[in-house]
Structure 1
């Protein structure tokens, strides 16, 4: 497994722990702003994991596709994904 995937897994595992903590905070009736801050932090980790996965994809899958003259399809995939990300 490469460095980007390992870092993405770490970020996802951390965000999983944060989300479990957030659920507990809500169940305990914790202050809403504190809960919201934790949600933002978990979202940031998910975004970081996504960027790491996309970096790995560009550095390996897309690069390999262009070397085999079929990179246009990979570019279209990335553009579709970026349009989903930017619509938020």
Structure 2
């Protein structure tokens, strides 16, 4: 597995553990601000993993497609993702 994918996978596994911890915090009726802080930390890890995956996609899939008829499709995929990110 590529090094970058390993980093993304580790971020996702850490986020998974945080989400499980957040669920337990809610079940234990912990302080709302503490729960919110943990949710933001999990979101940050998800964003980090997404950025790693997208960088990898650009450096490999999109780059490889530039000399083929798939180039337009790959460019549109990235534009669609950027539209989703920017609309938040």
TM norm structure 1: 0.95
2: distance between equivalents of 1:41 and 1:82?
22
* Number of residues of Structure 1 aligned to a counterpart in Structure 2: 88
> Which runs of no fewer than 5 residues in structure 2 stay unpaired?
none
> Which runs of no fewer than 5 residues in structure 1 stay unpaired?
none
Give the match for residue 29 of structure 1.
29
Q: Secondary structure at the match of 2:30?
A: coil
Superposition pairs of residues 1-88 of structure 1, within 5 angstroms: 1-88=1-88
CA RMSD of aligned residues (A): 0.9
1: distance between equivalents of 2:38 and 2:70?
42
TM norm structure 2: 0.95
Runs of 4 or more consecutive aligned structure 1 residues displaced over 6 Å after TM superposition: none
